[in-house]
Amino acid sequence: MTVTKEADALAAPKVENLADVLLDQDAPRRPGPLSASLTFGWRAVLKIKHVPEQLFDVTAFPIMMILMFTYLFGGALAGSPGEYLQYLLPGITVTSVVMITMYTGVSVNTDVEKGVFDRFRTLAVWRPAPLVGYILGDLLRYVLASFTIMVVGLILGFRPGGGFVGVVLGIAVLVAFSFAFSWVWTMFGLLMRSEKSVMGISMMVMMPLTFLSNVYVNPATMPGWLQAFVEVNPITQLVNSVRSLMSGGFDGSAMLWTLGYSVGFTVVFGALTLRLYNRK
């Protein structure tokens, strides 16, 4: 008797009962673009949590850059490391944060090659949500890198004329530009066949942009033909914007250039990225 009752309890439900269960419930509401993007962004943050070695490039690398350039070139370029630090720190902050934007493209390429994006495409969510999520997740890395550099700079003697508010505004402009610039590497992450190719292209683009700028030296000391390139370099305009805010001023021209570049990168490379994502 007991065995018979247990067998009846475990038996498959009748077809009409199963239909009542499935059809009587309201379908779950489809997540909106923001909700889906934030979910994928949280996924990117969890990957950092489980692989903390990924934070090496936003902690140890910026510290190494500050110490190396301040004490190796500070005396030769500005007379003393302390004076050079006042000029260098905003620029080295920009360089360090913008350099790590390339890892967005590397992460995208890795997931594409592993087939993870094939699963994402089958989900009933906003199509670009995985790509936007990667960039949103990397915003934490940008803020952490900026914070690390500021702490080390203050310990070494950096004193921003704009105070706490100027530093926060400068970092906000930098993070906003980095969000837009990340679309460039996201496109390359979909376009290239391996993560090594993405890294190679990224370094080939980033090295001239960061060194042929006003990060390390005053462009007035450069040849005229090189100054022409430096003046239109997006990194130069970004450094001018961040440096002026941290010093307590406001460079309206540089800010307009930075805003224009940010909008341009988002519109142009964002559209190309989505086109590649839909076609691949």
Look-up: residue for tokens 């370099």? Answer: 233
Of the pLDDT bands very low, low, confident and very high (cuts 50, 70, 90), residue 54 is low
Is the pLDDT assigned to residue 211 strictly greater than 80? yes
Q: Is residue 45 part of a domain?
A: yes
Q: Which of 58, 68, 63, 62 lies closest to 101, judged by CA?
A: 58
DSSP symbols for 152-217: HHHHHT---TTHHHHHHHHHHHHHHHHHHHHHHHHHHHHHSSSHHHHHHHHHHHHHHHHHSSSSSS
Of the pLDDT bands very low, low, confident and very high (cuts 50, 70, 90), residue 241 is very high
SS3 of residue 1 by DSSP: coil
Mean pLDDT across 25-53: 76
Q: Is residue 15 part of a domain?
A: no
Whole-number pLDDT of residue 22: 60
Q: Is residue 6 part of a domain?
A: no
- Considering Cα of 52, then 53, then 56, then 57, what sign does the dihedral take? negative
Q: Is residue 47 part of a domain?
A: yes
Q: Which residue has the higher pLDDT, 119 or 246?
A: 246
Q: Is residue 2 part of a domain?
A: no
pTM across the whole model: 0.82
**Cα–Cα distance, 130 to 108 (Å, whole number):** 9
Q: In this predicted model, what pLDDT tens digit does every residue of 200-210 receive, in sequence order?
A: 888 899 988 98
Q: Is residue 16 part of a domain?
A: no
Whole-number pLDDT of residue 90: 92
Whole-number pLDDT of residue 239: 95
- H/E stretch holding 263: helix 252-279
Share of the chain above pLDDT 90, in %: 30
**Containing structural domain, residue 138:** 28-279
Q: In the chain, how many domains are there?
A: 1
Reduce the secondary structure of 118-140 to three states and give it as a string.
Answer: HHHHCCCCCCCHHHHHHHHHHHH
Q: Which of 89, 97, 271 lies closest to 184, judged by CA?
A: 271
Q: Is residue 7 part of a domain?
A: no
Q: In this predicted model, what pLDDT tens digit does every residue of 131-143 receive, in sequence order?
A: 888 888 888 888 9
**Cα–Cα distance, 61 to 58 (Å, whole number):** 6
How high is the mean pLDDT of the chain?
84
Q: In this predicted model, what pLDDT tens digit does every residue of 72-130 receive, in sequence order?
A: 888 877 778 888 899 999 999 999 899 888 888 888 888 888 888 778 877 888 878 88
Q: Yes or no: say if 149 and 92 are a contact pair by the CB < 8 Å rule.
A: yes
Q: In this predicted model, what pLDDT tens digit does every residue of 137-176 receive, in sequence order?
A: 888 888 988 998 999 999 998 999 989 999 999 999 999 9
Q: Which of 167, 116, 169, 105 lies closest to 138, judged by CA?
A: 105
Q: Is residue 10 part of a domain?
A: no
Q: Which of 116, 129, 111 lies closest to 36, judged by CA?
A: 129
* CA triple 204-264-116, angle to 5 deg: 65
DSSP symbols for 61-121: HHHHHHHHHHHHHHHHHHSSHHHHHHHHHHHHHHHHHHHTTHHHHHHHHHHHHHTHHHHHH
